[in-house]
Structure 1
């Protein structure tokens, strides 16, 4: 979606993304190379961001060290991103094409406070972006509308970016519709689609419910303007006559028949097997995937936990089948959540990533692009998964006596109890140095001997006290091994 923004806005968003992904300073030269601009241009962009968003972005700019965000907050950064996108004439035009299609160029000039030449110059760039998604803005008889080869995907696309821009603030859509009507209808659909064992849990997820309501709202606009999805879906238990009447007060052209496709699309997002053969194959392979990654993590699961993991992966699978391409969120907080997890617990991140690739190969269906969603929902389903520890072993060699070695062993093991690495520290049986084959059994060798040349690829010299800095250095080495 950001590709339809102007170059300056794209560059500033990319700069923020880079800073959000780092824990330390990033030099101007590195930033300039990443965004393909001069250091002067980058410096000007960062200064403007710092001045305009001083409260949202705690940015430190140093001539010597570069730039960093102090205690970066993803939600605050999201507000900056949203503000940037709302300044985009191109995005506002897409919004107007949903709310008010079949209008002449003059109508959109007035709505967007943009000249005809600006909009005409912008149109090829927007369509070039939309072509990737098999969508296009076209003028028929001088009246403009947005069309798609896949109407369901178009609605999904709109639901995603409108939620990012405005949420369910109906004032932005010139509506006074009671949101409780949308909530009631979409929740009834969810009850029919989701197994009873998982309904209570998924019904607590505000994000999913809000998305479903937004998809339904987008569908109401599209159906009102004559864009339909044909279906024979039995929606009678999900749409009461009273609720249909409430909807028709704002969308008089819709009927029960025209809404069947919307209900079916939402249903298939939670229950999307087409055949028993597909159901058996996918369920079997997903259960094997769960067994593999939990065994590698040494994470014991009950039948209930395994069932919850199965539900998560199948839900992602259903949606991936419907969404042939990414809906191009403006700012994906799930991505940053999962990437932060990857930095904090690379063991968990890597194991799930590797096993997801295996699952994709066995299903001949690419789920790897959904890694961040699966990690996010796994942790929401089972929060204890975030604390899985990777077992590591260390050999401690001290030249300061046995009591000192025992002190260091206790200090190190105590420190690592608060991390996601389960470190076991061994001491030599006698005063002799183990031979090379024995050393290779360990992940790391820790020693107070600064001049020892030990035949091991990972050796860390520590102080007699083994400071917190020493502990963090050891953690970083083990985390990357």
Structure 2
């Protein structure tokens, strides 16, 4: 949804993303990369430094541009700042929360002209069409696929505010907490902060939609699954009505917990087994997930102790997937990119396994859904990450410099620290270049400060006396090439 941003904000976000991923670069290179003038780029940097403070973009005549993040900020908090700054996203938020009588009243609230508001809504709607919803400029409401609207707003609030108490009244959140804990106790489930926070956000988004007359429909079977402990609790019902000015009827309770009362979500393995007996397609998916996990476990020789629980988690991930899980910052994609830096072959191995499993492949998951699947697989399978690390080969690096032996030893220690468990470095004691070339062939790479050394199979990396970050990156790139060629998985 980055295209909802204004052109200038979209360009400024590009600047942040490029500097965050590429460390330092020059004004000239960056302006060419984002297709803008150096003058405009300098103006963008000035505006960004105001937005990012106390973080900033430094400009140096030696190292060029670099993003300096304050210790209390992360890349995720920067994306949050862009959502706070964006008038376009603020329009969506205002329409979601408030009942405006006219475009003029909304424009006045936002301190923009009505004609500007019309243009912005048109741009917003072009992007929202991809998730089958839009802003109706006549009634000033979000209309369309209710699942997609709620999913969008949930992830918008999550990404912008990070905390439900920053958006919604604390007294309402406390009431929801009492209901959630009652439900958790009845199900004998131990609550945790991430799950409770998601429930708070989801429920408040849906309650807001209920107040504006939007509803989900539910079946008698879903109605029968509603927890009687809550519906028959007169004190909770009175508290709910006093807090939200809405009666806690079975219909309202279903709306609030809609994402968990769809026909496919299962709280327990027993529920999953019962559902599989009634629905052949679900039974096939479960069988495919077991085959998928067993195939990985056997091929990588990694034990899987919580197979049933992992199948339930992966199944529910699919059942509860209503659309993209991000607005601007795709954190699961970022997580995968960080993981695949060292384990790129493993990621491709998993994708291959998915494609070889006909039923999972038939699901035709989006890239975002695949990212969610991969994230859950690697975080919910105890020992998988460690097992992968054990499967990654350690490559050998030879060191040969025409400086003194103490410098080379210091270099060995420093490189061993940076590339521990990935590269093992050995100092060569060759006395001639001929001996060096012969000895170096036994290693995957040769690190040296000598020029014009050609070796057929061993990679040669020429380094200066004083290593810079760019030199470590150069070694890392060779390592990744070796890993790619190794066909580990």
Name the TM-score class by shorter chain.
Answer: 0.7 to 0.9
| 1:174-227 CA-partner distances (Å, limit 9, x unpaired) | x4533233234345666789xx7xx54xx43x3333122211111111112211
Residue 236, structure 1, aligned to residue 232, structure 2: no
Correspondence 1:218 to 2:221: no
Partner of 2:311: helix, strand, or coil?
helix
Query: Which residue does 1:251 correspond to in 2?
Result: 245
How many angstroms apart in 2 are the aligned matches of 1:64 and 1:176? Answer: 51
Q: C-alpha distance in 2, partners of 1:59/1:106?
A: 38
- Contact map agreement 1:235 1:263 (CA 8 A) in 2: no
CA contact 2:80–2:160 (8 Å) conserved in 1? yes
Structure 1 stretch displaced more, 265-274 or 107-116? 265-274
Equivalent residues in 2 for 1:103-122 (5 A)? Answer: 103-122=101-120
Residue equivalent to 1:283: 286
Matches within 5 A, 1:357-372: 357-359=355-357, 362-367=360-365, 368-372=367-371
RMSD: 4.6
CA offsets, 1:133-165, max 9 Å, x none?
1112225xx5322211x2122112111102222
Gap regions ≥5 residues in structure 1: none
Please give the secondary structure, in 2, of the residue aligned with 1:68: strand
> Residues 333 and 368 of structure 2 are in contact (CA less than 8 Å); yes or no, is this contact kept in structure 1?
no
Correspondence 1:374-385 to 2 at 5 A: 374-381=373-380, 385=384
| TM-score, normalising length: structure 2 | 0.74
Counterpart residue number, 1:146: 142
1:156 to 120, 132, 151: 151
Conserved 8 A contact 1:360-1:366:
no
Q: For residue 228 of structure 1, report the CA deviation from its aligned partner.
A: 0.7
Compute the displacement of 1:242 (Å): 2.8
Q: Distance in 1 between matches of 2:283 and 2:149?
A: 31
1:353 shift after superposition: 4.5
SS in structure 2 at match of 1:229: coil
SS in 2 for 1:132: helix
Unaligned runs of 5+ in 2: 429-433, 483-489
What number of residue pairs does the alignment pair up?
Answer: 452
Moved more, 216-225 or 333-342: 333-342
Distance in 1 (alpha carbons) for counterparts of 2:86 and 2:469: 48
Residue of structure 2 equivalent to 1:301:
303
Aligned counterpart, 1:13 = 13
Q: Secondary structure at the match of 2:328?
A: coil
Contact 2:396 2:444 in 1 (8 A): yes
- What pairs with 1:40-439 in structure 2 (closer than 5 Å)? 40-55=39-54, 57-63=55-61, 65-70=63-68, 75-101=73-99, 103-139=101-137, 142-148=138-144, 150-170=145-165, 172-173=167-168, 175=169, 177-186=171-180, 200=190, 203-204=191-192, 206-231=193-218, 232=220, 233=222, 234-237=225-228, 239=230, 240-249=233-242, 250-252=244-246, 255-268=249-262, 270-271=265-266, 275-276=276-277, 277-294=280-297, 298=300, 300-304=302-306, 306-307=307-308, 309-320=310-321, 323=322, 325-359=323-357, 362-367=360-365, 368-381=367-380, 385-387=384-386, 388-389=389-390, 390-392=392-394, 394=396, 415=416, 419-421=420-422
Contact 1:415–1:471, Cα closer than 8 Å, also in 2: no
Deviation at 1:75, TM superposition (A): 4.3
**Maintained 8 Å contact 1:187/1:209:** no
How far 1:86 sits from its partner (Å)?
A: 2.0
1:41-63, Cα deviation, whole Å (9 max, x unpaired):
122212321244231x2432234
Normalised to the residue count of structure 1, the TM-score between the two structures is 0.75
Distance across 2 between alignment mates of 1:329 and 1:399: 50
Q: Check conservation: 2:302, 2:384, Cα contact below 8 A.
A: no
